[in-house]
Structure 1
Amino acid sequence: MSDDVSIEAEAAAVEESSLAPRQPYEPLLDQHEIDALVGYSPGEQAPAPGLRAMLDAGAGPREALPMLPVVFGETVRRLGDSLRELFGGDAEASLTSLSTLRYGDIVEEIVLPAQVATFRAEGWDGCGLVAMGPDFACLVLDSLLGAGRSLSNGRVASRPFSAIERAILTRLADAVLREAETAFTELAPVRFVRDRVEADPRLAQIALPGDVAASARITLTLEGRAATLLFVLPLATLEPVRAIFRQSFAGAKQGRDLYWAGHLATEIWQASIEAEAVLHECALPLRRVLDLGIGDTLMFDMKPTDLVEVRCGGLSLTRGRIGRMEGRIAVQIVEPVRAMRRSGPEASLA
């Protein structure tokens, strides 16, 4: 009997709740916010920010390396000087972009035909590559092989490179590696050694497709035309020297650095130098010097009251009187130390 009563009460409660007016539905997010979250934007082909952009993105900077742009900037500056010597005064090199992407995405962006030179970073236990696309190859080959601007007309080769063209591009890749090695060595010792040259970027496997790599685009401008080469360095290659590249770079200061000047002055005052006291100098024939033996005597034309000359680095500083102090031979300074006077690259005494 009691079970029947409880069932009837529950049914009445359900019926009462169904007859009660419902509250209007209030969504937590409107349609615009949902579209922004999932990255959907009607009428636009470019990916919108949101969840889809986060999933489809190649890679982001996982860790800040402030010194990496500085080193690549120095590489471009040195490379520009080398290219001006090779092509003439109108050649310019600039760093177009520096980004961190997945290695597989970087390889997919290389246009064929291409010249890809892989190298080993000896000292860091890693690899890297320098990729030159058809536009860069045509620009370099037209300039070096004598094709004028009217003949080249900015064409892009669609055929594989010949043996001569590959040799020229390989030497240019060696020049890029040489300047990059000089710039990177200023931070950490390294040696970039070219390993092999490939025509297909997929054969130049220096990292896994999902590994993150630093991709630097260097643009060469020559006779009004511009082309870009690619310098790729996996972040795993920088792992042994990651702490060095994580240092902050304050930039080159203009003017005098008072802190550094004070530090340098303190260290100079505490530095030890080697001074020599010259009693007498005389000129002897070489035969006389070679005939000297044990027991021979050289006569000095000096008196006990004559002063000796104190020198440092072959330069005369002052003069003093020789004597003895606490059982040791000593020199008492009797003249003020002469100041240094510079004239040109050499220094003389006042």
Structure 2
Amino acid sequence: MIDDDENVDDDALAAEWEAMAGDDEDEDVDQDAMAAEWEAMAGDDGDTGGGEGEEDDDGSTPGRVLDQTEIDSLLGFDGDDGSGETTGIHALINSALVSYERLPMMDIIFDRMVRMMSTSLRNFTSDNIEVSLDNITSVRFGDYLNSIPLPAMLSVFRAEEWDNYGLMTIDSSLIYSIVDVLLGGRRGTAAMRIEGRPYTTIEQTLVERMVSVVLKDMCSAFEPLSKVNFVFDRLETNPRFATIARPPNAAVLIKLRVDMEDRGGRLEILFPYATLEPIRELLLQRFMGEKFGRDSIWESHLATELWKANVELNAIMDEETMSLKDVMDLQIGQTLVFNKTPNDEVVIKCGDVPMFSGSIGRAGKHVAIQVRRAAERLATKE
């Protein structure tokens, strides 16, 4: 009896395994069908060659994957080709900024300043110093403060005649180079930079002296265009305390490079557009002394012709207000009595504009008027 039960159990178990094997075969068939479908889809893509705009069976358009070059071009990160122009999203973001190219005189002013600084800093440090102008760009004030590499010193200066402020940034390389040179450091050794410590009072004092030299040269550079006096206000090491304008405000950034043989650094000068507004018309000139909309030759010719022009003058003997009825009742031969006496003044007009006033008299057979004063004085008296 036991053997028969075991045979029954074995038969049931075998049948169960066969059923499971049948399910696996069905799954294999399903997988084969799915693989065939994927191959067919891949074949369709290969036939179309990845073409754009073609629809699938369900009417949808397949998406297109952008490569890295196209993404960089769209975002404006496709590298600098030397033209200085921005593209993509960067161009849209910066489109609200005023380009410094609308202020052509800035190039001339700071080219003069670079030459003056080279001489002044050589005398200040007794070392061979070369100053060069990197570029002049437009930035937002808040973006510039966030981009300043720390540690650095920020010098706030005031333009007295313009009644506003500017900002000068000295990076750490230039600070340590100037301190090293002024304190007698040996040539041929790069300036040492100690991380994690604030600037000492001696370092701040020496940098302040250098800033005073630069501000004096900048005054001389602006002098042919507009006389201005730049006065040192304060020295800060935290950009938050050097805020002189609101973050969205546009500003002109001038980047200078100071080289002392194997040492040196960068010096940046920032002018908010509000600071330059008093001399905006002068900065718009394409060359020094340009006069907008004026031609001295034409002005001289116009003045000469005006002096030769013939002008008709009318002497107003008397004025009286009458009603229209009285005017219509006037008859031929009727006498009008003037209220003027020989001693009263008569107004001479050119059209409706009073020109002169004078006394009436006679010159031969003609009635004459002697001009005594201009009509402006008469109007003021009245």
Question: Shorter-chain TM-score: which interval?
Answer: 0.5 to 0.7
Q: Does 1:223 align with 2:261?
A: yes
Provide the C-alpha distance between the structure 2 equivalents of 1:74 and 1:55, rounded to a whole number of angstroms: 34
Q: Does 1:168 align with 2:210?
A: no
Are residues 34 and 222 of structure 1, via their aligned partners in 2, closer, same or farther at CA, if it must alter by over 3 Å? closer
Q: CA deviation at 1:49?
A: 5.5
Provide the C-alpha distance between the structure 2 equivalents of 1:49 and 1:99, rounded to a whole number of angstroms: 12
Q: Report the equivalent of 2:33.
A: none
2:162 pairs with one of 124, 142, 157: 124
Match of 1:190, SS state, is coil
Provide the C-alpha distance between the structure 2 equivalents of 1:109 and 1:24, rounded to a whole number of angstroms: 47
Q: Deviations over 1:284-317 (max 9, x none)?
A: xxxxxxxxxxxxxxxxxxxxxxxxxxxxxxxxxx
Tell me the amino acid that sits aligned with residue 242 of structure 1.
R
Match of 1:112, SS state, is coil
Provide the C-alpha distance between the structure 1 equivalents of 2:160 and 2:109, rounded to a whole number of angstroms: 18
1:39 pairs with one of 56, 75, 86: 75
Q: CA deviation at 1:213?
A: 1.0
Q: Does 1:190 align with 2:232?
A: no
Q: CA deviation at 1:195?
A: 1.4
Would the aligned equivalents of 1:37 and 1:49 in 2 still touch at CA under 8 Å?
no
Tell me the amino acid that sits aligned with residue 142 of structure 1.
D
Provide the C-alpha distance between the structure 2 equivalents of 1:245 and 1:40, rounded to a whole number of angstroms: 31
Gaps of 5+ in 2: 1-52, 56-60, 290-296, 298-382
Identity of aligned residues (%): 32
Would the aligned equivalents of 1:39 and 1:50 in 2 still touch at CA under 8 Å?
yes
2:192 pairs with one of 134, 155, 179: 155
Q: Deviations over 1:218-257 (max 9, x none)?
A: 1111122231111111111111110100000289xxxxxx
Q: How many residues align?
A: 226
Are residues 89 and 168 of structure 1, via their aligned partners in 2, closer, same or farther at CA, if it must alter by over 3 Å? closer
1:248 pairs with one of 286, 298, 304: 286
Q: CA deviation at 1:136?
A: 0.8
Q: CA deviation at 1:36?
A: 7.3
Match of 1:236, SS state, is helix
Normalized per residue, which structure has more helix? 2
Tell me the amino acid that sits aligned with residue 191 of structure 1.
N
Q: Report the equivalent of 1:51.
A: 88
| Structure 1 segments (4+ residues) deviating >6 Å | 29-34
Match of 1:237, SS state, is helix
Are residues 237 and 50 of structure 1, via their aligned partners in 2, closer, same or farther at CA, if it must alter by over 3 Å? same
Are residues 40 and 218 of structure 1, via their aligned partners in 2, closer, same or farther at CA, if it must alter by over 3 Å? closer
Cα RMSD over matched residues?
A: 3.4
Q: Deviations over 1:10-33 (max 9, x none)?
A: xxxxxxxxxxxxx96799x99689
Provide the C-alpha distance between the structure 2 equivalents of 1:109 and 1:231, rounded to a whole number of angstroms: 14
How is 1:133-144 mapped onto 2 (pairs within 5 angstroms)?
Answer: 133-144=171-182
Would the aligned equivalents of 2:100 and 2:252 in 1 still touch at CA under 8 Å?
no
